[in-house]
Amino acid sequence: MKKTILLSLLAVPAMLVAQTGGLDPADINKPLADQWTSYSGDMSGKRYSSLKQINTSTVKNLSLKWLQTGITSGCGPTGTGPANAAPAAGGGFGGGGGRGGGGGGAAAPIIVSGFGTGDANNCGPARIGGGILFVDNTIYASAPDNVWAIDARDGTVLWHYYWKSRGGTSLQTRGIGMWHNYIFFELHDDWAVCIDAKTGKEVWKKEISNFDQQYFSSNAPMVVGNHIIIGTGNDTDQPAYIKSLDPETGSEQWRLYSTAQNAGEPGVDTWASLDAARHGGGTSWIPGSYDPDTHLYLFGTGNPTPAYTGGRGDGDNLYTGCLLAVNVDTGKMVWYFGTSLHDTHDWDSTQTPILADAMFGGRMRKLVMMATRNGYFYVLDRVTGEHLITSKLGLVNNYASAIAPDSPLHLNKRGEVQRNPNKDALIAGSLVNNDVLNYPPATFSPDSGLFYVHEQNNLRLYYLMDPDPRGSMGLGGTGGGASFSWPTYIDAIDYTTGKIKWKHEVSGSVGLLSTAGGVMFLSDAGGLVAWEAKTGTPLWHTQIGALSAPPETFMLDGKQVVLAATGTGMFLFQLN
Amino acid sequence: MISKKSLITGCMAGLVLTCLAIAQGPPAGGRGGSGAARAAGGRGGGGGGRAGGFTQYTRPLASADVIARGKALYDSNCSSCHATDLRGVPGKGINILRQTLADKQGELVTAQIKKHNPTINFSDPDSLATAEYIHSVLARMGGQGSPPRSDETPELNILVGNAKDGEAYFAKNCTSCHSLTGDMKGIASKYADARALQNGWVGGTLPIAGGGGRGPGGGGRGGGAGGQATVTMPNGTKFEGRLVRKDDFLVILTLADGTRKVFPMDVAGAPKVDVVDPQAAHKKMVLALDDPDNKNLHDVTAYLWTLK
């Protein structure tokens, strides 16, 4: 009898064994503090840490705890180099293993998967991007087609998961998700994988979209209870969707398309035809945020397709360029708000929304805030979608209203921005602003009441090169001309008014972090920089090279630390 | 000996790969890297070239004669509804480019042809040759989903402005810096086309034959590394040179004699830094030029195009 039971247990696939330990999904919804458990640190999207050890007084005492320069992306059949490559001295390309820059110890195991040959992968210093997780003293980091577990105590690589890609669009990743002892990751050639957090071994993998139809998948899986929410991008104009997977099996729980796929579905009347809607784009390639009280997952959708040309009709092209609130249990949309309706400039509205309970209009409200690529800042009631504020960002943002920053806004009754069609790409050229911001995540500090986001300023001539009334495909049919750039800033926006309280010039942005210590961390001046969050006054910096992922903070052995990744390595800073 | 009937039966039974090898002959040579580079940045990372790209750009193509046969079949049997550029004719036929992306060895194209209404009397080799032609068109798609460039590029007239109004605008706003008998003399003749002229005069760049020219870009922090800057110390001492770096912590100049001079900025008594933006005049110009209808832009271009 005992033998029978044992055999039965052995016969049960590992993935069906109920998961315990590791990261409790309930902890993912807790405010950001000791651990970093999802893309934004917590599910509110604030990127605001309640840690205070590092504050405006102590930040100057930060120093390097360790530097790991041995994290390398894999290539070839085994991840250690191209096929037939001569072994390089000192271990060659292989998946790290060094520690503290000093080497020693056995190389980390490389777990190889994927359906390519490895020829499409590129060896070299890892381009770590997106959300880096920190759970149980282990750092989980990713670059396209690669995931690493790293000991947070000394930077030692513990394991390296390497995916042999079939190719496709593959330059960046938004990171990984975690549920108990499982790590989830999207591969650019359109598979989702579940990896054992302890060993790096693959638990399951599921195809999430069709590589042959030029989908690419770089989003960070978001764990909401027993849902793994993933998104996928597309280079042409195939239907766009997010879907929810079962964490233990990868089976699909629900799927939500960004546009109508069948006659009679909501939004179809905002397109030239059902076919235009089906191929209307609106991909989701940046994670959203989650409100556990309402069970709403809030996320943004990308630009419509064709991006620049005709063929979509004159309507709003719903639900592209929108903020969507989705019931995570049903996968049904509860409300939407158009952040870039009928977009004609490839301005994805996929930026991560920020959820906060804060005073507005004299009472506490459940808010959602978002700054989108078209250069507008929005505040809504996240329960109902009620519009509260729309304001304009940028020095030369003229696509919807006059170029002056304080010019009257052009909004519909819902508070949604209405573009000026004369600022679309025109055959004769139009003088119009470029992206005001993009995917680098914003942060919100409840202490300062400020929403921080980068602001780019560029004017250029846009030309329509494909006037065919059928419209082009994807991003086709346009051409650029003369352009002018003004400085890039970090804007500090008063969420109660939408007005910019101050702005501070920077070289660019990969994303921001604010803390209860009154500090904001960012990439600038060739490295990691700390500002006073309230004023933008520089407090500390270290020239480690421009960051490749937003900075993060968490607690390690009772000390608050700051994690930064660049193109050359991973750095962990602690207070002296 | 394999009979013709057996070959067809085999194809229909799913031995498509074998049949294709027979139909195609040797591959037509290398692929990948022939397309335009993808636009940089953006969604999901964007960017990346053809190497390691999607299936449509990396698979071997059929021989030229197979593709030519497929094109002839397509042109005579399909293009009236699906268009010569394969993007479909509204109300008559779907976009073939979109619908065949996932076709690997002709299986989707063949299946569609078999069930097509009205009937298309293609043999399986005909269908496969047509599929190979479609593959060859898919391989020429541009970055991030752009359809292949048509051989029949329409003439795009950008001269929509009022030249007389443009002349008045130019006289009022431009002649303090530019002269029609000096730097702007015969300006239109220096550009290949009106679009290049427009890019040139707006961007303040030199004429670029064949056109398109972008503005000098520039900008960046502090008005643009690479421009000139003057650093004034608290005691009044001035340093002038080419700006290498400017941020909250360091300003670096290359002085006239080639010396590198570094100025810490996060110290007491930090110097004052004045950056000369070489684009300042044209930035001021484009801000004033902008209007909701692009009228000033189009008018001035229409006027300048008369200055041959």
Interface contact flag, B101 A173, Cβ < 8 Å: no
Mutation pick from A475, A510, A540 vs chain B, by most beta carbons of B within 10 Å, is: A475
- The stretch B172-185 carries a mean pLDDT of 91
Residue B165 has pLDDT above 80, yes or no: yes
How many percent of chain A have pLDDT more than 70? 93
Question: For residue B240, what are its two tokens?
Answer: 């002038």
Question: For residue A376, what are its two tokens?
Answer: 């507008």
pLDDT at position A20? 64
Query: CA–CA distance from A484 to each of A114, A290, A432, B153, B205 (Å)?
Result: 43, 38, 11, 29, 12
Interface contact flag, A428 B298, Cβ < 8 Å: yes
Contact assessment for residue B90 and residue B84, using Cβ atoms and an 8 Å cutoff: no
Interface contact flag, B43 A507, Cβ < 8 Å: no
Residue A461 has pLDDT above 60, yes or no: yes
CB-nearest to B215 from A219, A482, A505 is A482
pLDDT at position B123? 95
pLDDT at position B80? 96
Neighbours of A17 (CB within 10 A): 10
How many percent of chain B have pLDDT more than 70? 75
pLDDT at position B225? 62
pLDDT at position A18? 57
pLDDT at position A168? 85
Contact assessment for residue A465 and residue A475, using Cβ atoms and an 8 Å cutoff: no
Q: Is B280 on the interface with A (CB under 8 A)?
A: no
Closest by CA position to A59, among listed A538, A485, A428, A486: A538
Q: Which chain A residues are closer than 8 Å to B199 by Cβ? A: 461, 481-482
Interface contact flag, A429 B195, Cβ < 8 Å: yes
Both ends of chain A: CA-CA distance in Å? 60
pLDDT in tens, A184-220: 999 999 999 999 999 999 999 999 999 999 999 999 9
Mutation pick from A59, A75, A115, A214 vs chain B, by most beta carbons of B within 10 Å, is: A214
* Phi, psi values for residue A240, rounded to 5°: -105, 145
CB-nearest to B55 from A212, A429, A464 is A212
pLDDT confidence bin for B149, thresholds 50/70/90: confident
Mean per-residue pLDDT of chain A: 92
Interface contact flag, B147 A472, Cβ < 8 Å: yes
ipTM of the modeled complex: 0.91
pLDDT at position A263? 97
Interface contact flag, B45 A210, Cβ < 8 Å: no
Q: How far is CA A16 from the centre of its chain?
A: 30
Q: Looking at chain B, how many residues does it have? A: 308
Closest by CA position to A562, among listed A513, A498, A494, A508: A513
Query: What's the Rg (C-alpha) of chain A?
Result: 23
In DSSP notation, A63-101 reads EEEEEE---EE--TTTSSSSTTPPPPGGGTT------TT
Interface contact flag, A485 B286, Cβ < 8 Å: no
A269-277: long-range contacts at Cβ-Cβ below 8 A with a sequence spacing of 24 or more? A269/A315, A270/A313, A270/A315, A270/A316, A270/A317, A270/A318, A271/A312, A271/A313, A271/A315, A271/A317, A272/A311, A272/A312, A272/A313, A273/A313, A275/B94, A276/A311, A276/A312, A276/A313, A276/A471
Interface contact flag, A538 B248, Cβ < 8 Å: yes
Interface contact flag, B248 A438, Cβ < 8 Å: no
Contact assessment for residue A397 and residue A436, using Cβ atoms and an 8 Å cutoff: yes
Q: Which chain A residues are closer than 8 Å to B166 by Cβ? A: none
Q: What is the pTM of this model?
A: 0.90
Mean per-residue pLDDT of chain B: 79
Cα–Cα distance between A277 and B247 in angstroms, integer?
Answer: 46
Query: CA–CA distance from A576 to each of A234, A517, A558, B133 (Å)?
Result: 47, 16, 13, 67
Closest by CA position to B88, among listed A232, A273, A49: A273
pLDDT at position B53? 84
| Burial category of A84 from C-beta neighbours within 10 Å (exposed 0-12, middle 13-18, buried 19 and up) | exposed
pLDDT at position A410? 97
The more confident residue out of A95 and A485 is A485
Question: For residue A238, what are its two tokens?
Answer: 């195939």
* Phi, psi values for residue A258, rounded to 5°: -75, -25
pLDDT at position A92? 37
CB-nearest to A476 from B56, B145, B220 is B145
Interface contact flag, A170 B217, Cβ < 8 Å: no
Please tell me the distance in Å from A19's CA to the nearest CA on chain B: 31
Q: Is B287 on the interface with A (CB under 8 A)?
A: yes
In DSSP notation, A443-462 reads EEETTTTEEEEEEEEEEEEE
pLDDT in tens, B35-87: 222 222 333 333 334 445 888 988 999 999 999 999 999 999 999 999 999 99
Cα–Cα distance between B78 and B85 in angstroms, integer?
Answer: 11
pLDDT in tens, B233-291: 999 999 999 999 999 999 999 999 999 999 999 999 999 999 998 889 899 999 999 99
Question: For residue A136, what are its two tokens?
Answer: 């149980």
Conformational region of residue A382, where left means phi above 0, alpha means psi within -120 to 50, and beta covers everything else: alpha
Interface contact flag, A169 B250, Cβ < 8 Å: no
pLDDT at position A14? 42
Q: Is B82 on the interface with A (CB under 8 A)?
A: no
Interface contact flag, B38 A463, Cβ < 8 Å: no
Per-window interface: B 207-266 vs A, CB < 8 A: 212-215, 217-223, 245, 247-250, 266
pLDDT in tens, A540-564: 999 999 999 999 999 999 999 999 9
Residue in chain B lying closest to A485 (CA): B219
Please tell me the distance in Å from B44's CA to the nearest CA on chain A: 5
- The stretch A145-158 carries a mean pLDDT of 97
Interface contact flag, B215 A483, Cβ < 8 Å: yes
Q: Which chain B residues are closer than 8 Å to A114 by Cβ? A: none
Residue B173 has pLDDT above 90, yes or no: yes
Residue in chain A lying closest to B160 (CA): A428
Query: B143-157, B218-232, B289-303: lowest mean pLDDT where?
Result: B218-232
Residue in chain B lying closest to A401 (CA): B292
Per-window interface: B 3-62 vs A, CB < 8 A: 38-39, 41-48, 51-56, 58
pLDDT confidence bin for B143, thresholds 50/70/90: confident
- The stretch A51-58 carries a mean pLDDT of 98
CB-nearest to B158 from A210, A279, A428 is A428
* Residue whose token pair is 């119009």: A432
Residue A97 has pLDDT above 90, yes or no: no
pLDDT in tens, B4-42: 333 333 333 332 222 333 232 222 222 222 222 222 233
Interface contact flag, B104 A346, Cβ < 8 Å: no
Interface contact flag, B145 A216, Cβ < 8 Å: no
Q: Which chain A residues are closer than 8 Å to B48 by Cβ? A: 169-171
Q: At what angle do helices B194-203 and B295-304 cross, to 10 degrees?
A: 110
pLDDT at position A175? 97
Q: Is B106 on the interface with A (CB under 8 A)?
A: no
